Chain A
């Protein structure tokens, strides 16, 4: 069964450092997403990506964040200068192309736990 994979499973970094979180979406999917979940809080939408550009982003997704699809399989989230409050679980998700009348499930990866010290 196809699945979304994410690496690394756990990333520890110092405040101010850059981190890149990597995701391999399901191969025939066209929409890609990043969500985050701070410990004990809601899963929050960060950004969606389609056709090599950002479709929508939340207020959380400020200039410190960027996303990229560097090749045909990977989807990355970069945080340029990490802050303590960036510590969270980051989930990548992917979905098939939405039709007018059909629902397309977002499949989530297992997450990357980011710890900023």
Chain B
């Protein structure tokens, strides 16, 4: 069963704080792990993706994947008020044979960064 669990929050932090967002999953076939950002009444926008296990850094954002624990994280350093949004983790199994690469999303964590 493709299932992704994400603590929906909400999460409120002061400006400049380090934010940690997490997801767990049950399907070991997932190979691509994504973090999307969604502003109110907008479509999800890709922040970062990681293939298999490991870390990836992009500016203030770091994504980590631990496939042995089926656990992924997104860290935001020096958080800014503009980071206030809902963060969605998403995963896909590109080798399922179905040929579509559908994304399975977590519920999203609503983050507020207070100036």
Contacts and interface: CB of A to CB of B under 8 A. Distances in A.
Interface of B: 4, 32, 36, 41-46, 49, 51, 88, 90, 94, 98-108
Contacts, number: 64
B99 A108 contact: no
B32 A103 contact: yes
Interface of A: 4, 31, 33, 35, 41-45, 48, 50, 55-56, 58, 89, 91, 93, 95, 98, 103-111, 113
Contact of A55 (B88, B99, B103): B99
Given A42-B106, A42-B107, A50 B100 contact: yes
A22 B105 CA distance: 23
B82 to A, nearest CB: 19
Given A103-B49, A108-B43, A108-B44, A42 B105 contact: yes
A89 B88 CA distance: 15
A43 B98 contact: no
